[in-house]
Structure formats: C-alpha cells, structure tokens
Structure 1
Amino acid sequence: MNIDFNGKRVLVTGSTGGIGFAAAKGFLAAGASVVVNGRSEESVAAAVASLREVGPTVEGFAGDLSMAEACERLVARHPNFDVLINNLGIYGPQDFFETPDEVWDQFFQTNVMSGVRLSRAYAPGMADRGWGRIVFVSSESAINIPADMIHYGFTKTSQLAISRGLAKRLADTGVTVNAVLPGPTLSEGVASMLKAGNTSGDSVEKIADDFVAAHRSSSIIRRAATVEEVANMIVYISSKQASATTGAALRVDGGVVDSIV
C-alpha cells in the first residue's frame, strides 16, 4: 500500500511531542505539507527543526488552541487544510469529589472545544473541494471511563459523539470523520507521569509494562503502545485508501477494551 499525501495540507494540533509529533512525522514522510502546533514558540521551533530532517514542508503555529482567540488566529493564518488531526489534549488523575468546575472547563475547552472550533472552520472548505479528512484522537478511556479521571473520560466520550455526528453531517461530501482510540501509550508525558515517585530504578518501558499489568489487565499485547504505532493508524485513516471508513471509532488500544466490535 502506497500512502501518498503529496499536494495535501495537514494540521496536527498538540504536535510538539508524543502521538501528535509522531503523526506529523508520518504525514511528512508521506509527502504532506504539515503545520505543527504547540503552546510556546520554543516548543514549536524545536519540533519544526526536528521534523525538517524528515521533510522541508513543515511549518509551526504557536498558540493555546483551547482558547477561541488562538483558533481564530490559526484560521486567519492558514485558512485551508485537507486533513485536520484534532490531537490536542490534556490528562491527569484527580478524584471526582476534588475536581472543581474550572478543571472540568479546562479539560472540556482543551480536549473537546478545540476540535469543535477547528472542525467548524475547516470542514466547509473540505466539503467544497470534495475531499477531506478529520480525525479526533480520543482514547480507550472514552469507553473504559477511569474512576480516577472521570473528567478526562467524559471529554474523550464527547469526542466520539462529535466525530460520529459530524460524519453524518458531512455525508456524501467526500469528507470523512473518524476517531482513533489509543490505549496506554508511552509518550513523553505518560513516561513522566509513570516515573514520578517511582524509585524502583526500572526502565520506563518496564514501569509502563507494570502499569498495564496492574491497571489495564485486559490488555492483549501486555505492554504500552509506542507513539508510532498510534500514528500509523492516524496516517492511514487520513489517506485516500481509507475512503470507505467514516463515523468510526478505531481502537489502537492493544486489546484493552474487551469487546469484539
């Protein structure tokens, strides 16, 4: 299968590291022009410099896309994309009874409304051109709501509802909308979270494996995924070859969700 994004413009939000960075790298390797995004000029510049080793057609946009103003600046600077990857997201454990309104709103604005605003801005142009791809990077936590991250799971479930509904809204336009559901994935952020307070001296891969065994015991692969493994699904579902898949929730969870559908 030859996945080719030559002539296509791709936006990957939250892409200075982790899954987003791996996805941007995959798109560049397949010939796309890519805009990466992060909150600071420094992180964006570092990501762009690293990605230019893969391909020259990469730009950066610094801005906190949880805020409407930053989304407006992005759209003004880059009015059209062929592929939109709504990857921006935050996570972190907090007990339900100790999670205040402002944290719920922060998670909602970041994980949900950033994708809503950008999809609303870019989908009409895709439909007018007769081709486009929108992907929401959700999580297996959308289905397996974590008891210690209910506020996070809520936002990931919301992404599934939006992606399914938007796929229906864009029926017969040539634009597909899908969600990708990673399971435990060894991104830089997850690695830092797992290592915090761990004094075992084990490698981060071993710590991640132990976490999966203890907290995601239904995992079939018995390990955390790599960011590249998740990015592969994102790149594929955004390709021309995936034209018959829309409104889907595609799991890259290592079999954590115990379901045959």
Structure 2
Amino acid sequence: MDLRLEGKTAFVSGSTGGIGYAVASALTGEGAAVVVNGRDTGRVQDAVNRLRSAHPGSKPSGLVADFGDAEAVERLLEDLGQVDVLVNNVGLFGLADFDDVDDDTWQRYFDVNVMSGVRLSRRLMGGMLERGWGRVVFISSESGVNVPVDMVHYGTTKAAMLAVANGLAKRTRGTGVTVNSVLGGPTYSDGVAAAVESIATAQSAPLDAVRDAIIGQNRTTLLKRFIEPSELANLVAYLASPRSSATNGAALRADGGVLTTVL
C-alpha cells in the first residue's frame, strides 16, 4: 500500500536504535524526509548513514539533543523547522522498586517521557493546524494502562502520555491534523536484546531459551513472543500517513494481546 508520504517531513525523537529507528526506517521507505534524533553525535550520524544505505535515494538528516534538557530541546527546535509528521518516541525505561525511585529519577522520567512530547507538540502543532494537515503520534505502552508494580514510575509517565495525546487531539477538530497514540507491548528493542543477552551469558544458557523463558512469564500475551520493532513501526507509519485520516484521538494497540480488556 502506498502510504502517500512522498514530500512529507517527519521528526522521530529518540531514533538512533530500537523502535525509534524502526519507525524512521519505515517512514523513510515510504518516501518521507526523516530527521532522526539521539543524544550522541556519532550514533545520530550512524543512524542517518544506515537509513541512506537501506533506502537509496533518501535524504534523512539528524539532530542531537538530550530530551531531559529543556535548553537542548529548544536548540533542536530552532534547527528543526517545519515538520508534517511528529513521532514522540523518546523515552526512559527501567525496572525499580517503588521505594527506591527518588524524586530526581521521577523528574527525569517525566522530563524525557512526557515533557519531550509536550515541548515538541507545543512548538510544531501550530504550524500543522495553520497548514491544515499534520500527524502527531505518541509511542506509549501497555504499561500506561496496566501499570507494572516494578515500574510504577515508567507506567505513570506512559499513562500521562496518553492523557496529553487525548487532550491535543481535541485541538484538531475540523482540521486535517490528527493525534494518536500507540500502545506497544513487550518489544525486542536494542535495550531488551542487550539485557536478554546479558542474562544468557551470566547463566551460560542459549539465547533463544532465555528469551522464550522471559516472554513465557507473561501470562496474557497472545503473541507468545516478543514484538519486533518493525511490527510496531508498521502501525506508526500508517498513523503518520494520509491513509489514516479517520483515526484521531485514538490509542491503538500493538501489544501482542497483552492487555485483556475489550477496549
């Protein structure tokens, strides 16, 4: 299916690896001019080079910024300019007992996971509304609906992302702009892969066996395996396209059936 993204400019926060890079690659493959982002200049340039190699003729670019630093975000926005598609992907993830998460950590998670999307949307949505077309996609998580006991800080920020997206969608009434969220499930991102490999090495166990054992602990998954980043990116690419014009204010699941509610 042609997603009609030729000539569109997209910015994907936190896109040098994992889900973010998969989204950037999917959008690039559909003809969008994608701006990738990360905290490290070398990783950003590497992501740009990989996109060019994977999609000959494409013209991706990159901007460096730590989304936990408001001033760095402001500098990025000054360099970014007009975009048609904004994918709020950047995020922190980690397991921790509630009693062990101090105020500074809570603040860091809110700055990166929530305020990144707030700051980007506040600057970029106005232009979309003026031009009469645009797409904003928030990469949330099933953990924002069913908050894990060992990730209360993470789940809380993902729930907040859903609230921000829902409120912003109401600003788009009668326009060609949409705001939606994607509820990702257990995804085999770079970080998860590294953690699984570390466990396998420590246990002197086969990688596949460790990966299967970890996902097997999730009693509600219907997929019964980790989601690949590209699978989640396929949904994001659709939501970023003109094809998704009737989908607005929605939280769509790419969770492998982990959530058990009907809606």
Sort the TM-score into its range (normalised by shorter chain).
Answer: over 0.9
Report what 1:83 is aligned to.
85
| Aligned counterparts of 1:200 and 1:167: Cα–Cα separation in 2 | 49
| Aligned counterparts of 2:248 and 2:209: Cα–Cα separation in 1 | 36
| Aligned counterparts of 2:251 and 2:154: Cα–Cα separation in 1 | 17
- One-letter identity of the residue aligned with 2:15: S
Report what 2:7 is aligned to.
7
Q: Is the 8 A contact 1:67 1:114 kept in 2?
A: no
| Aligned counterparts of 1:108 and 1:194: Cα–Cα separation in 2 | 26
Query: What are the superposed Cα offsets for residues 32-67 of structure 1, whole Å, 9 maximum, x if unpaired?
Result: 000000001011011111111114310010110222
User: For 2:182, what is the secondary structure of its paired residue?
Assistant: strand
| Aligned counterparts of 1:28 and 1:160: Cα–Cα separation in 2 | 26
User: For 2:106, what is the secondary structure of its paired residue?
Assistant: helix
Report what 1:124 is aligned to.
126
| Aligned counterparts of 1:170 and 1:38: Cα–Cα separation in 2 | 29
Task: Tell me the CA shift for residue 259 of structure 1.
Answer: 1.6
- One-letter identity of the residue aligned with 2:89: N
User: For 1:14, what is the secondary structure of its paired residue?
Assistant: coil
| Aligned counterparts of 2:243 and 2:209: Cα–Cα separation in 1 | 36
Report what 1:170 is aligned to.
172
Match of 2:227 among 222, 225, 228: 225
Match of 2:238 among 230, 236, 239: 236
Query: What are the superposed Cα offsets for residues 203-222 of structure 1, whole Å, 9 maximum, x if unpaired?
Result: 2x4433321211x2100010
The TM-score with structure 2 as length reference comes to: 0.96
Report what 1:181 is aligned to.
183
| Aligned counterparts of 2:8 and 2:227: Cα–Cα separation in 1 | 28
| Aligned counterparts of 1:200 and 1:244: Cα–Cα separation in 2 | 50
| Aligned counterparts of 1:34 and 1:185: Cα–Cα separation in 2 | 23
Report what 2:31 is aligned to.
31
Task: Tell me the CA shift for residue 200 of structure 1.
Answer: 4.2
Query: What are the superposed Cα offsets for residues 201-258 of structure 1, whole Å, 9 maximum, x if unpaired?
Result: 222x4433321211x2100010010000000000011111101101111110000000
Q: Percent identity?
A: 46
* Stretches of structure 1 lacking an aligned partner (at least 5 in a row): none
- Measured on the aligned residues, the alpha-carbon RMSD in Å equals 1.1
| Aligned counterparts of 2:138 and 2:209: Cα–Cα separation in 1 | 29
| Aligned counterparts of 1:57 and 1:201: Cα–Cα separation in 2 | 42
Task: Tell me the CA shift for residue 193 of structure 1.
Answer: 2.1
* Stretches of structure 2 lacking an aligned partner (at least 5 in a row): none
| Aligned counterparts of 1:211 and 1:107: Cα–Cα separation in 2 | 25
Q: Is the 8 A contact 2:199 2:210 kept in 1?
A: no
Match of 2:63 among 61, 64, 74: 61
| Aligned counterparts of 2:96 and 2:86: Cα–Cα separation in 1 | 30
Report what 2:205 is aligned to.
201
Q: Is the 8 A contact 1:12 1:23 kept in 2?
A: yes
